[in-house]
Amino acid sequence: MTIKAFQQYFREQLHTIYSSNEAHIITQAVFKKIGKLSSTDIVLKAEEMIGGELKNLLNYALQALLQHKPLQYVLGEAHFYHLLFEVNEAVLIPRPETEELVALAIDIIKKNNFKSMIDVGTGSGCIPISIKKNCTEITVSAIDVSEAALTLAKKNAVTNEVIINFKQIDFLQTEQLQQLPKVDIIISNPPYIPINEKATMTTNVTAYEPNIALFVPQERPLIFYEQLALFSQTHLNTGGQIIVEIHEDLATETAAVFAPQYNVQIVKDMQEKNRMLVITQYP
C-alpha cells in the first residue's frame, strides 16, 4: 500500500467515530509525529510504498484511536501555552481553559511582583512550568500525590529548561503540608467533578485520564477547596492571592468556601462559563 492510500484508509477509519474535519486533523498529526512525515513529504512521497515497521506503528495508533484513546496520549505529547509537554495516562491532558488560568496568573504575578508560588496537584507540570517560563524571577514549588505524575512533570521541567521544586505530597493529609513554604500565590486546578457525573462523560476521558485527578466524593465535592482555604491560612504571605480552576456549576458554593476571610472574584472563561476564582486577602 502506498503512503497516500494508507493515509486515506487511516482517515476513513477515523471518520467512523470522528467528524470528517477531526479525522483529517488527527490523521495529519499522527503521520507527522509517528510517521515522521510532513505535509510536504506526504505529497512528494505519496506513491512510495509504506514500510512494514511504519505501517505497524501507524496501525497500532489507529487501533488505539478507534478505542477512543485521546490523540495526545497516542502521540505522547500535548501543546500548552506555547510549550510542548510529554503526557501519558498518569496525568490529565492540558486543556485550553487551564491556559486561561495560566494567563491570568502570569498577569497577577507580574502586576504584584510576586516572588514565590506553589501549584497544588501539578500533574504534567504544565501550570508551574508555563508560569516559570514567563515569570523567570519567581520561585516555584509544585506538589502531587502521584509519583508517576511527578516523574513526568520533572521531565517536562527539564525539557522546557525551568527549575521547579517538586514534592510528592498528599494535599489532603494536613500533617504533610508543614514541609511546604509560605508563598505569595497559591494556584490549583484540583479534582472537582462529583463522581456521579462520570456516567455522563465521554469514554476518551473516563477510560484513559486518571480518575484521581478528575473526581471527588459526591458528598464532599469541594473537599480540595476546603483544604486550600485551610492551607492558605498558614502558607499564604500577607497580601497574597489564590487562583483556582472550578466546576462551572459550583462557582457560588466554591466561592463561599473562601468567604468571608477573602475577597473572592468569579472569573468566566472564553466560553462565558464560570471557570476560575481569584481570591485576595483583605487589606
**Intervals of the chain under pLDDT 70:** none
Q: What is the pTM of this model?
A: 0.93
pLDDT at 89: 96
Question: Which residues are 249's β-sheet partners?
Answer: none
Strands 183-188 and 116-120: parallel
Please tell me whether residue 43 adopts helix, strand or coil conformation.
Answer: helix
pLDDT at 114: 98
CB atoms within 10 A of CB 6: 20
Please tell me whether residue 194 adopts helix, strand or coil conformation.
Answer: strand
pLDDT at 45: 81
* pLDDT above 70: percentage of residues in the chain: 100
pLDDT at 235: 97
pLDDT at 107: 98
pLDDT at 51: 82
pLDDT at 113: 97
